[in-house]
Amino acid sequence: MMKDSQETTHFGFRTVDKDEKVAMVADVFHSVASKYDLMNDLMSFGIHRVWKRFTIDCSAVREGQKVLDLAGGTGDLTAKFSRLVGEKGEVVLADINDSMLKMGRSKLRDMGIVGNVNYVQANAEALPFPDNYFDCITISFGLRNVTDKDKALRSMFRVLKPGGRLLVLEFSKPVIKVLNSAYDAYSFHILPKIGEMITKDADSYRYLAESIRMHPDQETLKGMMEESGFDNVNYFNLTGGIVALHRGFKF
C-alpha cells in the first residue's frame, strides 16, 4: 500500500517516512561534524565566508540585541554576532544535532567567546523560546534539512519580536544557465569524492548535493516566508544563485 504524501518527505532524492528523516539527517551530521569546517572551506573554495559576511552585514544586529543562530553548527555566525551584541546582548547557538553543538561550543570557547553565548539543542519546528523574544534569527545552510519547513518558519516567526528579521542563507537555484551543468558535475561527481577523502563518508556529501536540488527555489521560498507571516521578503542571489540570502521582517 502506497503511503500518503503527508506521511512522507524527501531525504535527498529518496522518499522516506517523516518520522525517519530527523534521525537520518542526524546521522549525516554526526558523521561529518569533526571535519565540518574543513569541508566547508574545501567544497566552497572558501567563498562560504563571504556569504556569511554578507549575511552579517544584512542582519543590522546592534549592541544589546538578542540573536538566534539556528542550525548554527560550529558557530561561524555566532562568533560574529557575539562581538556585535556586546556584553548586554545575547546570542543563542541552537542546533538539533548534539555533535555539531559540541563542536561549536568547543570552537567558540577556544576563541575566548563565553560571556554572552548560550547553547541550546533545539528542533526548528518547535523552538523552545518565548514569543517575541529575538531581534534577529539566522539559519545558515540548515533549512533544507528541516522536515517541515513551513512549520519551522512559523516557529521562527513566533519567537521574533515585532520589528525583528529572519535571514535564511541557503543553497538555491543558479540563475546563469551555463553554471547549471558545471554545478551539477561538481556536486554529484567531485563533491562526494572530496567527502570520501576527508571524512571517509561519500554518502553524506551525496545527500548534500541531492538535498540542495530538492530545496525550494528562490521565489518558492520567498512565498513560503510570506505565507508564514513575514513581510517585505526579498532575496539576494550570491555566486550566480548557487546560494541565496532571503530576508523577511515581522511587523
List the binding residues for S-adenosyl-L-methionine.
74, 95, 123-124, 140
Question: How many C-beta atoms lie closer than 10 Å to residue 207's C-beta?
Answer: 22
Q: Which residues contact 231 (CB under 8 A, 6 or more apart)?
A: 248, 249, 250, 251
Q: Which three cell numbers stand for residue 214?
A: 530538492
Q: What angle do CA 117, 88, 73 make, to 5 degrees?
A: 20
66 forms bridges with which residues in the sheet? 90
Strand pairing of 117-121 and 134-140?
unpaired
Q: What are the angstrom distances between the C-alpha of 114 and each of 1, 52, 160?
A: 53, 21, 24
The HSE-up count of residue 53 (CA atoms within 13 Å, CB side) is: 5
In the numeric block, the cell 523577511 is attached to 248
Residue ranges for the binding site?
A: 74, 95, 123-124, 140
